[in-house]
Amino acid sequence: MREFLLARRLCYRAAVGNAPHRCVAALSVGCLLALSAAAGAAGCASTEYVNEGPGQPTPRASGSLPPGSVGACKQPFTKRPPIVSEELWAHAKPCTPRTPPSTIRLGYAKDGSAGADPEAEQLVEKVLAALAEGTKPDGGNNQVTSAIRAVRSYAARKDELRARIARDSASDQACDVTYLLNTMSAARSKLSGGDACTAEVFDPETRADACLFDAKRPEGLWLSSGWSCMTFTGELGNEASCHQLCGYDDYCARQVYCAAGDVNLLLCALGVCLPEPSAGIK
């Protein structure tokens, strides 16, 4: 053993095919010395380690959608929805046929030349004006339901909106959208600790989650106060049910079944088309 320790260092990459054949039959000190000499003759000084590089960056570091976040893209040749953040719109990538179906589609006035569609723009202004009055307990619901009827009529002539018209929209009694969203807004504000943002999506430029809606336009924030239980976007719905967002108010919860489809349609008409399936109760 002392002789082995004094022998040259064994190179693990060296070829040992030239060692004496008798080493195959019996492993002795002499054989070990022969193997060591053969290894030294190969000229290998030490064990070599291959540099494998830094590896692939994480999805968030590379700007791609990380797990747990919601993506958003902008439809080509459309205008920025007034309720969507200007910064997010500027950073959003164009929608393509390869964009995952779970991605939120942004943009309106698609049918016109270079995003100029007077009918779509007039409809958006009508809806925004109705939503601005919608929070008022006196007459606000009439304003919102009138806007809903206008959007249904418009959507029936548009392929991208027709499928979003709720089948049971023509009910005998109008939904109490004002009560629903006012109650949900108050409950959601408590659940979120006062955070005004009602929905976050991944911003590929800043590589962080950002508020989808423009905080300077409260119409979008109010309309999306029931985001978590009316839509399958994976946001607050993981922690808050419709009953929580209704403040455990049974009347409010019943209005969710009535108005969820119309809220989804209003959002899409305003240029925020949620992924499919687009509405439901969690």
pLDDT attached to residue 77: 86
What is the rounded CA–CA span in Å between residue 147 and residue 154?
11
Say which residues have a Cβ less than 8 Å from residue 12's Cβ, sequence separation at least 6.
47
pLDDT attached to residue 64: 66
What is the rounded CA–CA span in Å between residue 35 and residue 38?
5
Q: Identify which has the larger pLDDT, 110 or 41.
A: 110
pLDDT attached to residue 118: 86
Rounded alpha-carbon distances, angstroms, from residue 267 to 97, 165, 254, 263: 22, 12, 20, 6
Per-residue pLDDT tens over the stretch 5-29:
444 444 444 444 444 444 444 445 4
pLDDT attached to residue 68: 76
Q: What is the mean pLDDT of residues 125-131?
A: 95
Q: What is the mean pLDDT of residues 47-66?
A: 61
pLDDT attached to residue 196: 84
pLDDT attached to residue 257: 85
pLDDT attached to residue 51: 67
Sign of CA dihedral 151, 152, 153, 154: positive
pLDDT attached to residue 200: 86
Residue 82 has pLDDT above 50, yes or no: yes
Per-residue pLDDT tens over the stretch 233-274:
444 344 567 888 888 999 998 998 888 889 889 999 999 998
pLDDT attached to residue 111: 61
Q: Identify whether the C-beta of residue 208 lies closer than 8 Å to the C-beta of residue 70.
A: no
Residue 126 has pLDDT above 60, yes or no: yes
Q: Please, which pLDDT band fits residue 159 given cuts at 50, 70 and 90? A: confident
Residue 88 has pLDDT above 90, yes or no: yes
Q: Identify which has the larger pLDDT, 172 or 80.
A: 80
CA angle (249, 251, 254) in 5-degree steps:
110
Mean pLDDT score across all residues of the chain: 77
Say which residues have a Cβ less than 8 Å from residue 138's Cβ, sequence separation at least 6.
none
